[in-house]
Amino acid sequence: MAGFDFFGFLSYFGNAFLWEGVLITLGLTAVPIAGGLALGTFVALMRMSDRPALVRIARFYIWIFRGTPLLIQLVIVYAGLPQLGLRLGVVSAALVTLTLNETAYLSEIIRSGFMGVPAGQSEAARSLGLPTWLVIWKVTLPQAFRLMIPPLGNSVNGLLKSTSITSVISMEELMRRSQMLMQQKFDVLEVFACAAVLYLMMTTGWGAIQRWLEIRFKCEAAPATEK
């Protein structure tokens, strides 16, 4: 059995096929995070609503998507929905599943950020006659955002790695492209070691951005939701 080929390992860092996979992985992270923040804010507001029906709907949604594996959700969206007449392509299925899953986690992060803002500040703003949406936008959200950044950063880091699960439906992100190269050249250790370093580069790069954001906004720790 041949040993680890160090120079073969280095050669894969010049492989355009893998670097295209890196770009796809970044896209599979950015789009669900953006969608998850938008939908997560809506779900968080439902969760904090005074209307019991909205609270129950939000809790049920969070319970489903946090309580079941991402892999199962992906298979249901990609292979199950066509049986109901809704057929999605590989890219659409991956983005929809990751967004719906991320929404459940981000909604709790957003809710914890809102809850970390003293209630007296919102009450003071309302006493001035400001409408609820303006109180949220001008008073609550800026302060809550500082509390959200650390757990939001952790969520982005986790999603970067979770995108590899989409390889099971042949989404050609970094993991899938690594598998394809391995099957062509049988350089198992060399290819996957290169992929591991590329994932490390992405997560390390995001870690630097997260630290800058935390320093820039003088963030405080907020409870993180674990996956």
Q: Average pLDDT, stretch 17-36?
A: 96
Q: Domain containing 184: what range?
A: 6-216
Domain count, the chain: 1
The reply to whether 226 falls in a domain is no
The pLDDT assigned to 116 comes to 84
CATH of the domain at 143: 1.10.3720.10
Q: At residue 191, what is the residue type?
A: V
Q: Average pLDDT, stretch 184-199?
A: 91
Q: Average pLDDT, stretch 24-43?
A: 95
Chain centre distance of CA 205: 16
pLDDT tens digits along 89-117: 999 999 999 999 999 999 999 998 888 88
Q: Average pLDDT, stretch 185-200?
A: 92
Give pTM, 2 decimals. 0.86
The burial class, CB within 10 Å (0-12 / 13-18 / 19+), for 21 is buried
The pLDDT assigned to 7 comes to 87
The reply to whether 47 falls in a domain is yes
